[in-house]
Amino acid sequence: MPMHNIILFDLDGTLIDTSPGIFSTANGTLRKLGFKELSDTQLRKFVGPPLAACFRVACGLEEQIISHACDVYREIYAQTGALFDAETYQNVPELLSNLVARGFTLGVATLKYDSLAVEVLTHFSLQEYFSVVSGADLDGKLTKADIIRNALTTLKCTDYQRVLMVGDTPHDLDGALEVGVDFVGVDWGFGFSKGHSISGQKGVLGMIDTPLSLLDYID
């Protein structure tokens, strides 16, 4: 197993359960636009993908109104304080503290905007653990792979064999594999279900069901 010294984490559904704020904002947006609210099962599709894809896949909105829907969502999200309607997953601070103490460089690679990601990480006292926070662009053109590459560029990392990406969705997995960094999936978020297997692909180390289980892959 390669010796990793850089670990990148997804944010929503991996470090922090941001679903309450995301779910309420999504349904608030649909109400404002005159559409029917979604069930919790459908709303789970709002955690992980780019926002436009969320409205496209979870809601089936017509393409010509998706941009407006995204603007309404962002307005509601900012005005209602939904960003902080969230909770850090149990043992995440202990995991991050352990990794930093052992000399790992940590980063966040998220499809949330950089500024929003920094705000929520700071609010939940996690920002101090990360050397880089790489997020989405306003136009939503950056893919997960782009965001991972941006994080590694900021860290001046050229040896991708030393990088591990940790995330809860197929978007995280696909981004890691496209870039060429190893991947560990988590099953407490919104993409991979409990007991889901992602083994058998080159660069995929496995799945974990608790944050501290990540230590098994780096020890």
Identify the domain boundary among 67, 84, 101. 84
Last residue of a domain, one of 53, 84, 115: 84
- We report the CATH number of the domain holding residue 187 as 3.40.50.1000
Regarding whether 187 and 211 lie in a shared domain, the answer is: yes
pLDDT at 16 over 60: yes
Closest alpha carbon to 107 in 152, 145, 71, 58: 152
Q: What is the CA radius of gyration of the chain?
A: 17
Q: Please indicate, yes or no, whether residues 137 and 76 belong to a single structural domain of this protein.
A: no
Q: What is the pLDDT of residues 134-192, one digit of tens each?
A: 999 877 789 999 999 999 999 999 999 999 999 999 999 999 999 999 999 999 998 88
Tens-place pLDDT, residues 34-71: 999 999 888 888 877 788 888 988 888 899 999 999 99
- Does residue 37 lie within any of the structural domains? yes
Same domain, 118 and 194: yes
The pLDDT value recorded for residue 1 is 45
Domain that includes residue 55, residue range? 19-84
3-state helix, strand, coil in the chain (%, to 5): 50, 15, 35
The SS3 assignment for 188 reads: coil
Tokens of 133: 């926070």
**CATH for 26:** 1.10.150.240
Rounded CA separation 186/10 (Å): 10
Same domain for 132 and 199?
Answer: yes
Task: Name the domain count of the chain.
Answer: 2
Together in a domain, 132 and 188: yes
**Residue 1 lies inside a defined structural domain of this protein:** no
- Share of residues in the chain with pLDDT > 70 (%): 99
Are residues 76 and 148 located together in one domain of the fold? no
* pLDDT for 44: 84
Shared domain check, 195 and 93: yes
Same domain, yes or no, for 122 and 110? yes
Residue 111 shares a structural domain with residue 12? yes
Residue 110 sits in the same domain as residue 178: yes
